Amino acid sequence: MPLGRYPLLAQIDSPADLRQLPPTQLKRLAEELRRFMLESVGRTGGHLAANLGTVELTIALHYVFDTPNDRLVWDVGHQSYPHKILTGRKERMESLRQRGGLAGFPNREESPFDTFGVGHSSTSISAALGMALAARRSGSGRKVVAVIGDGAMTAGMAFEALNHAGDLDANLLVVLNDNEMSISPNVGGLSNYLARVLSGKFYASVREGSKKVLRNVPPMWELAKRAEEHVKGMVVPGTLFEELGFNYIGPVDGHDVDTLIPTLQNLRGLTGPQFLHVVTRKGKGFPPAEQNPCAYHGVSRFDPETGQMLSSGGGLTYTQVFGQWLCDMASADPRLVGITPAMREGSGLVEFSNRFPERYFDVGIAEQHAVTLAAGLACDGQRPVVAIYSTFLQRAYDQLIHDVALQNLPVLFAIDRGGLVGPDGPTHAGAFDHSFLRCIPNLVVMAPADEAECRRMLTTGFLHDGPSAVRYPRGSGPGVAPEAELTPLPIGRGEQVRRGERVALLAFGSMVSAALAAGDRLNASVANMRFIKPLDSELILQLASEHELLVTVEENAIAGGAGSGVAELLAAHGLVVPLLQLGLPDRFIEHGDRSGLLTEQGLDADGIFRASSERLATLLPGQRATT
């Protein structure tokens, strides 16, 4: 991207260059950085609104702290694009989230400035605390900063880390990027002035000195504590963080560089746990994103002048199928309640939340709570549906086992983003759910081959008197329109969808279409297995007896996946039959176009045909299963 329109930004190849600029030029740099990011993300797509809100904060942090020696830890990473641009990666922004290009989140392998790899929320304070303790042990004297959003602060893990940091009296600065609170009058001149004063060394020394003196006079010490809390409480909402052991400063305007820099400079000189509350605005400087930050949270390619999305829409997505089913089933059954851990838009619950607000529960970024909340509802006659991404369900695995499955409670998990997710990369890929779900007793696990089957499986799971899960991929399916009826499927029954010779392809969920195409070329039998658990043992044993080679195909890790279940079934019946398991390898798959990534892993029609043909060529003609 030509940098001629960005003369200041063109000079910045690292934060060391940034720190050479006089403070008077930083506002201009912020304007250039924001325009550059709009143009860049407009070409690639990516996370936008939150990144637009952190431009000035990012500049101030890198201006004050000696990064990368000082550690800067971003939470989630939705707010780290300005950080990437200022740390030597601006020329590569056009490769963002593309195969071989920049990751959409901080990545330790990508840059020494990315001190911690993130993708799931609420990890920054824990990681930064670990770094602060390492600095204490090594005597390095480096500073450590965690930047966390207000959404990520809804997770229990963030408060566990805050509590521990306060208890250890760690030298740690936590910056709360609050982009939900509006910049109201109290976040103005008086508040900014108080932030500078309260973060200054004079106030800190007086405060600490007073503690030492008054601690010897207990009644006076208690009075002083109350007085300080009262004075600060009149202008700041920091009592909670003070109680956790942090010195709370703020709120300050996160778009006011002239306030941010002296405040951060003051805080850099302090010891102990410090907490800076910064108020920013999502979508700052781009009216479409300011007016609708949810729509511009994650975007496809768009026109940076108008905000008009440029990518053409595909067919009906699995997420949309789920959203419509949820509303239809809620209309039919008053027991249905919907639960999401802060993923209303991503999981397709917008219409449901509007039509059935009293039956909709967004628990924030608290996956563990979401699952146990569902268990509690199910105990007393409700039928909860937990809408969750596969990668986020991993965070509630203990609750899934102990609170739902062990008690055999009727909770339905609608698991979105099963398999590879493309540009979001390995942090968001649902590569392991076949493996970690099928080993749990009482749990029924399904994977639809198309949109119509997805609707029927959701109905099956909802009506099942026990825990169940329907796992579907990101994006659109093959284009099979769902029926209006709410019709269940028989549990544990697959379907042979093509009859052939020598080879039988046992396909699970999203792999059925590719297996059918490969089956046509191989003249192979193809089975839509439908259920990861319970497997259709009758169908598998029949196909094993009639074919020389069984091939399992799944968009999941081979290790422990559905193919492993087929191997276990054959072994349990004493059958020796050649078995080829196709799926994701034992490594994390990087970001890129989803279809391209599937092709690279051999999970398209060509890959299935090629792998099956190669294995078939090694077999003796006419070989069948033996005991």
Active-site residue numbers? 282, 367, 395
List own/partner pairs for 263-269 with CB under 8 A and 24 or more apart.
263/195, 263/196, 263/199, 264/60, 264/61, 264/64, 264/65, 265/64, 266/196, 266/199, 266/200, 266/201, 267/173, 267/199, 268/64, 268/65, 268/143, 268/173, 269/201
Nearest to 478 by CA among 443, 520, 509, 436: 509
Q: What are phi and psi of 364, to 5 degrees?
A: 80, -170
CB atoms within 10 A of CB 9: 21
Q: Are the CB atoms for 119 and 77 separated by under 8 Å? A: yes
- Structure tokens belonging to residue 336: 């249905």
Helix (H, G, I), strand (E, B) or coil at 528: strand
DSSP class per residue in 271-313: -SEEEEEEE--TTTT-HHHHH-TTTTSEE-SB-TTT--B-SPP
Reduced 3-state DSSP string for 559-570:
CCCHHHHHHHHH
Terminal C-alpha separation, the chain: 64
Instruction: Name residue 282's amino acid.
Output: K
Q: Mention every residue, 6+ apart, whose C-beta is less than 8 A from residue 511.
A: 553, 554, 555, 603, 608
CA nearest 174: which of 284, 56, 281, 74? 74
Alpha-carbon distance 433 to 347, whole Å? Answer: 17
Q: How many residues does the chain have?
A: 627
Residue 220 near residue 212, CB atoms below 8 Å: no
* Dist CA 220 CA 581 (whole Å): 73
Strands (E), 198-283: 247-253, 273-279
> Token digits for 476?
């659109």
Report whether 452 contacts 482 (CB < 8 A).
yes
Question: Helix 512-522 crosses helix 605-616 at what angle (to 10 degrees)?
Answer: 50
What single-letter DSSP state applies at residue 549? E
One-letter amino acid of 24: T
CA 532 to each of CA 95, 471, 626: distance values in angstroms, whole numbers, following the listed order: 37, 10, 25
CA 443, chain centre distance (Å):
24
**Local structure of 476: helix, strand or coil:** strand
Calculate Rg over the CA atoms of the chain.
Answer: 27
